[in-house]
Chains A and B, each alone.
Chain A
Amino acid sequence: MSQRLPKFPFLGRLLMQLPSPLGVLPLIAVLIVWQILQKGNSPYFPPPSAWWSGIVQSAATGKLLPACLASLQTILVGMVLATAAGVMLGVLIGLSRRTARALGPLLEFCRAMPPPAIVPLAILFLGYDERMKLTIVVISAMWPILLNTASAIQRIHPILLDVATSFHLSFYERIRFVAIPSVMPSILLGVRIALPLTIVLTLLVEILTSIEGVGALMITAQRNFQSGQLYGLLVLVGLFGFFLNTVFSMIQAIILRRWPPRSIPA
């Protein structure tokens, strides 16, 4: 089932999937036109050169790097915890049809709840600190992973379970050799949905509470009408998202290399 593929062609194929680099031309054209048309330092639409000087200025005060690290830390730690919790609960819920059915409406309600709505609630209970930021991120990012895992466990082909029974596999072995391999693509899909959510929530909490992070820097820049810096931070956040997304796609592709192609969700 898993052919041993040489390493290089695999990376090559990954690169082949990327869109043509010519596609960034419109973006660059817009930026150049913007720079040329916008001469002065407009309070609303500053030219890209002002974005850069804003970022440099922010870095010079020594606030930029700690803020970036704080946000990145929340996103990564939150993601890891949410994945661990989501997969564990998802497997437990998915293994028993009765539990899944009994918890179904509750889970549906939690999933339908837009995560930002619980932010004020968490502020009320946990106060303004680092822990609250992480709690919100974990709780909200957990749902897509949990629900994807649970439904994938339920969709495991019955024959696989029969095989596990005939082999007298223990509970642990069932999870290790039957459940996890069957649901890995779905787990990764859940993580993929959760990743942008963690970024949004981290920034939201930082904007709302001014806990250290890029979001707090952005809202401060807005309040002080430092529009150049705000646009610069916006680009930075965009790069953040692009970078995390790309890294995760690569990790996903590397993990799923050992899975048969048809099980990879489109």
Chain B
Amino acid sequence: MADQARRSGINWAGLAVLLALLVVWEASVRFGLIAFEFVPAPSSIAAGAIRLSREGILFTDLLHTLMSIAMGWGIAMVIGISIGLLLGFSSIARKFGLASVEILRPMPGIAFAPLGLLLFGFSLQTELVVTVLPTIWPVMINTMGGVANIHPRLTDVGQTLRLSPTEIVRHLLLPAALPSIIVGARISLSLALVMAIVAEIVGNPAGLGYGIVREQQAMNPDLMFAYIAVVGILGIVLNAGVLAVTTVLWPASTRSMA
């Protein structure tokens, strides 16, 4: 869908549907067609967002969430890529480690929230525990797969060219595994956003996730919707941002992606 839109410029039909939806929503709240007292009109959501950003709360919360995503994702990348490379390059590590990974991997990240609360209380550490642990897997598995799927002939070529083992790894094998690692990093990043929001809802009273809960409990539906909208936009921006960065830095890596 995204490809199509890019080829033919702006997707006017899509924007029109979005706009129409907002207009219908606004009108049905204004004219009382929606009986729910909790549904604010889009205009009051926008007003709420403006009020929040004037007070500076929205920006602080956004900054906190971005920072925890960056920290959590960064830590997960370091752990995930190192273990992934180890498992990819060494068949002994695979033999004596892969089954452990496969057992731990389906563990739902949210299950670590009560554990984080037990160990660290309501704090940034809890948020990082919940964000980092599940985020490790996609990048680890993709790194391992990327390394394991390199054609053996590539190593032969390196040996024919009389490259040292480190040179083979650095100039041939790592670049060959890179596209797969980048895909893993992207999946991990969107997961980090989800888990950061989860952590802020249950474990760390700060950031956008806590903003949603806070306004829900304070019965301010307009502000709650404003926070939700910001979270959704953040999701789109993060995804598009990473895609743009990888396309610029490693054009070859995005070509093979579906």
Contacts and interface: CB of A to CB of B under 8 A. Distances in A.
Contacts of B193: 114
A115 B15 CA distance: 23
Q: Is the interface of A mostly helix, strand, loop or mixed?
A: helix
B255 to A, nearest CB: 16
A167 to B, nearest CB: 28
Interface string B181-196: 0000000000001100
Given A23-B98, A44-B118, A104-B5, A208 B232 contact: no
Interface in B211-251: 212-213, 216, 221, 224-225, 227-228, 231-232, 235-236, 239
Interface centre among A124, A125, A244 (most CB of B within 10 A): A124
Interface residues of A, number: 62
Interface string A22-34: 1111110000000
B226 to A, nearest CB: 12
B103 A230 contact: no
B66 to A, nearest CB: 14
Interface in B133-185: none
Contacts of B38: 124-125
B106 A244 contact: yes
A203 interface: yes
A181 interface: no
A103 B111 CA distance: 35
Given A117-B212, A120-B213, A203-B111, A106 B18 contact: yes
A19 B1 contact: no
A125 to B, nearest CB: 6
Interface of B: 1-2, 4-5, 11, 13-18, 21, 36, 38, 94-104, 106-115, 117-119, 193-194, 197-198, 201-202, 208-209, 212-213, 216, 221, 224-225, 227-228, 231-232, 235-236, 239
Given A108-B2, A116-B198, 20 more contacts: A18-B99, A19-B94, A19-B95, A20-B98, A20-B99, A27-B100, A103-B14, A104-B4, A104-B11, A114-B194, A117-B208, A117-B232, A121-B228, A199-B108, A203-B108, A204-B201, A204-B202, A222-B115, A242-B102, A242-B106
